[in-house]
Structure 1
């Protein structure tokens, strides 16, 4: 029997290794990639979350350097997903990100992160309200980078303006928002109302979104415009315990769910993509074809599109009107 393959566009760590540590070693990164490959994952975007710009750049630069020296890591890590720091500072919407580092977007700081990644940024998650003139969104799209809304309380007007500027994705719908919101006019309903314009990420662990709600979301979005991410932290594949995520420590209980100490919010997931695929089959009743589209085909299409766009940009074709480029 062929082992299922997965593409994970948002992963913060795996099998005891935190990708947001300042001093992650070559051995640790390799070990995480070995575990991912063993568990059926074909490629990932390592996700670097909100912190001081200098710290984020340091972490990205180190990951990129370690990747360049390891063939397995190069094969497994397709690029970087920058989640923040240009996200909402409101309680609930900021989620597990350190609120002191969340801020309004500016190109100088964004460029610092892009330069640290040396052309490997594939997705940037930001809050549209933190980019009020859509300058950062437009410039990122011009660079061939997918812009995803997330950790946001954008109004419908702000969301529409961002979509007009090139926003094409939404990060883990149903999360990065408070437990208590307006029953009708809330970010989930706004995004669902614009789902024909967006590729929408979902975490299928049953904790971030209850399975009945996940089914409702998929019915509205449609299988062709949704994709599953693990949003895994270093606890994935390890069981209960205390695990790092950047400068914070996260406790995973007996139920396998990472939560903040005060239980105010979840902190990533500890669920593997294989487990999520099984959830889609057993809890939602999806077919093998539907599951493959959500966990492999759709995220792969996003990844391939971004790689091609970045390669075109770096070759000068987008800027100069050329038609030939190579991808790596």
Structure 2
């Protein structure tokens, strides 16, 4: 495998921004991160591709742990080929790893969807698939969002075992409602399988959230959306996340799902390593609405006021966000660039327990993104291989 050295960059390692630096990748992993002065003193053989990134930023590749689709392809297609195409297209957007997110569906259909999405793992042409995110079916009928009530299920360990087997052991994270009966048994099962549980689509009261935390439900699906709201007599789900620093949370930074000023509250009250940027992007993200009807999860959606809305009732169905725009928005909402990049790469890797992703340190995977001060993506590398390269 060829080696690559990117130089003349400001590098975010996952810990700090370092100006006038270079990154060397050998055998698909980070070999070194060093100063421009050291770069100028080194001599590279013909086997090393040396690339001047012209003053751009280099950061660990973006990791989207909650995404349903992109560019007209989505998990609701129930096709491994669609997930593979998502992989290719997402790499053009600076994403180097993602968790294809499945909507709840009727039991036979969800089992088949899990099987199909799992078949894409290992066949990616762009961003790597870390594993699957199941957004249900063990969620609250009182906080559906645009999920369909007939697709939900009471907690059922035999159903969970069937989902696990259908995934071939590739379920990484799962959205659940902590208040559901028998959730403790489900949480203990998922802990043994290494599945990260996240509270979402939940009508939990505060005590339900605390009980969930005690059995390992320590992450949160799209904070503020589809969950019980903060109340002065019962902090509920939102309050629990803000009160307890050990809880991490997803956030959709499109300025529509969450008011921009709430990011100031989030930044003040949550440790910076507990905030995970996600897109929750739908299948038609990146498509031109003028070209015809757009569909997500089998229903027609329209692009309106910065988000996709379900046509039949105007309920917000999901975002059309990309990770690079999310990073840009976080900066616009008051985060430093380092904090925004941490939320887009380092934090999701840590929360999902992928220890060799999310930081640019020797021995870690050679997954990185190169972008300029205007937040335009110029290059993406996965395992040290260019998936996008505007410098050639």
Give the TM-score of the pair, scaled to structure 2: 0.71
**Post-superposition offset of 1:21:** 1.8
> Which blocks of at least 5 consecutive residues in structure 2 are unaligned?
1-55, 358-392
1:39 lines up with 2:88 in the alignment: no
Cα offsets for 1:58-110 (capped at 9, x unmatched):
01101112334x2426x5211100110100011xx111111122232110111
Q: Note the 1:1-328 alignment, pairs <5 A.
A: 1-2=56-57, 4=59, 5-22=61-78, 24=79, 26=81, 28-68=82-122, 70-72=123-125, 76-90=128-142, 93-177=143-227, 182=231, 185=234, 186-194=236-244, 196-240=245-289, 242-253=293-304, 255-261=305-311, 263=313, 265-282=315-332, 284-305=333-354
User: Compared with structure 1, are the counterparts of its residues 149 and 117 closer, same or farther at alpha carbon in structure 2 (3 Å cutoff)?
Assistant: same
**1:19: how far off?**
1.3
| Aligned-partner SS, 2:102 | strand
Q: Alpha-carbon deviation of 1:264?
A: 5.4
Seen in structure 2, the aligned counterparts of structure 1 residues 31 and 190 have a Cα distance that, compared at 3 Å, is: same
> Is 1:146–1:306's contact at 8 Å kept on the other side of the alignment?
no
Residue 319 of structure 1 is matched in structure 2 by none
Q: Secondary structure at the match of 2:286?
A: coil
Q: CA deviation at 1:160?
A: 1.2
Contact kept in structure 1, 2:188 and 2:215, CA below 8 Å = yes
**Cα distance, 1:291 vs structure 2:** 0.9
Deviation, structure 1 residue 214: 2.2
CA distance, structure 2, for counterparts of residue 201 and residue 25 of structure 1: 26
Structure whose residues are more often strand by fraction: 2
Please give the alpha-carbon distance, in whole angstroms, between the structure 1 residues aligned to 2:205 and 2:83: 39
- Is the radius of gyration larger for structure 1 or structure 2? 2
Report Cα offsets for 1:182-236 as digits up to 9, x if no partner: 5663431233223x22111111001100110122122211211111110001122
Query: Distance between the aligned counterparts of 1:292 and 1:298, measured in 2?
Result: 9
Q: 1:30 offset after TM fit, Å?
A: 3.2
Which whole-Å CA distance do the structure 2 matches of 1:190 and 1:45 have between them?
25
1:107 touches 1:136 (CA, 8 Å); kept in 2?
yes
TM-score, L = length of structure 1:
0.84
Taking the aligned partners of 1:100 and 1:136, their CA distance within structure 2 comes to 21
Which structure carries more helix by proportion? 1
